[in-house]
Homo-oligomer: A and B are copies of this chain.
């Protein structure tokens, strides 16, 4: 196998993050996130968010972050609305339902919900025999590599506020989304009630930062994290990585790097007239090849087969902080050879 484009968590950790961890190896730190690194990491993140008025908590994985946040927000009889392609609907083995809540879905477009989709769901859930929709979940970037523009996200949040729905943004791949969209970190405070900043898919050993803007979501959140088994004894391990990633522009720089290589692959493939399953501008791209090409390619590279489509198979290439231009060039060369 020459190289894996299967995902963005195939490589241990970005050298700068590992270096930051090593520098702390002789320290003693308080447990459960009460340490100075956690404090400092939160301060640095708040600077990028351009607000002091939020609570930040560190956990270790995306499904954990989603289940913890959603089960905190919802009342027992409430459901979360998500796009049918959403991670919480498809890829979390019922982790949200395990906390007692239905995931209501709408088809949406390109992996994204629109206000009209939310309205459709609200209308279909009109009395006490149906779950009450209590919040909306969206992903930035989405599971199809697409992104919400500022206007799209603002429209959703406005709709949510008018209808007493909380809006939560899954930022598992936020670094890539930030590099691709017109939404920067300082805008999130006006675009949602809470979101999380993904570390695992941006070169962290593990780690996600939950950011809570809405005051109603703040009390006793640490109790809830512990209740969900997600309060890390060595919280400072995650905090040190966020501290490093946000002390300069490292977090967004990694996003630009991943997107640049994904765009290179996209452009090269489009030059080869390869069609795409979705219009991604981030680090996940979904070219469509014939089954024969996919089979040949799979002998050289590791990647995910996404879905059978008319004309063959949509596959997924993901670029990571560690992916090199050389690997991408080699991939393109090999694809050219196989397609000829």
Return chain B residues, CB-CB under 8 Å to A25.
Answer: 11-13, 15, 18
A43 close to B (CB within 8 Å): no
Return chain B residues, CB-CB under 8 Å to A60.
Answer: 60, 206, 232
- A137 to chain B minimum Cβ distance, whole angstroms, is 15
**How many residues on A have C-beta within 8 angstroms of the other chain's C-beta atoms?**
76
A48 close to B (CB within 8 Å): no
Return chain B residues, CB-CB under 8 Å to A95.
Answer: 226-229
CB pair A27 B9 closer than 8 Å: no
Contact of A220 among B61, B64, B77, B103 (CB under 8 A): B77
Contact of A93 among B18, B91, B129 (CB under 8 A): B129
- A33 to chain B minimum Cβ distance, whole angstroms, is 10
Return chain B residues, CB-CB under 8 Å to A230.
Answer: 61, 64, 229
Q: How far is the CA of A61 from the CA of B225 in the complex (A)?
A: 13
A71 close to B (CB within 8 Å): yes
Return chain B residues, CB-CB under 8 Å to A234.
Answer: 9, 12, 200, 205-206
CB pair B24 A12 closer than 8 Å: yes
With a 10 A CB-CB cut-off, give which of A30, A102, A231, A237 has the most chain B CB atoms. Answer: A102
Q: A3-B28, A29-B10, A94-B101 are in contact. Are A63 and B205 (CB under 8 A)?
A: no
Given pairs A61-B230, A93-B128, A97-B102, 17 additional interface contacts (CB within 8 A): A4-B30, A7-B31, A32-B129, A62-B233, A63-B229, A63-B231, A72-B76, A79-B94, A90-B130, A93-B129, A93-B227, A98-B228, A129-B226, A200-B233, A206-B206, A206-B234, A206-B237
Interface residues of A (CB under 8 A from B): 3-4, 6-7, 9-13, 15, 18, 21-22, 24-32, 60-64, 66-68, 71-72, 75-79, 90-95, 97-103, 128-132, 200-201, 205-206, 220, 222-234, 236-237, 322
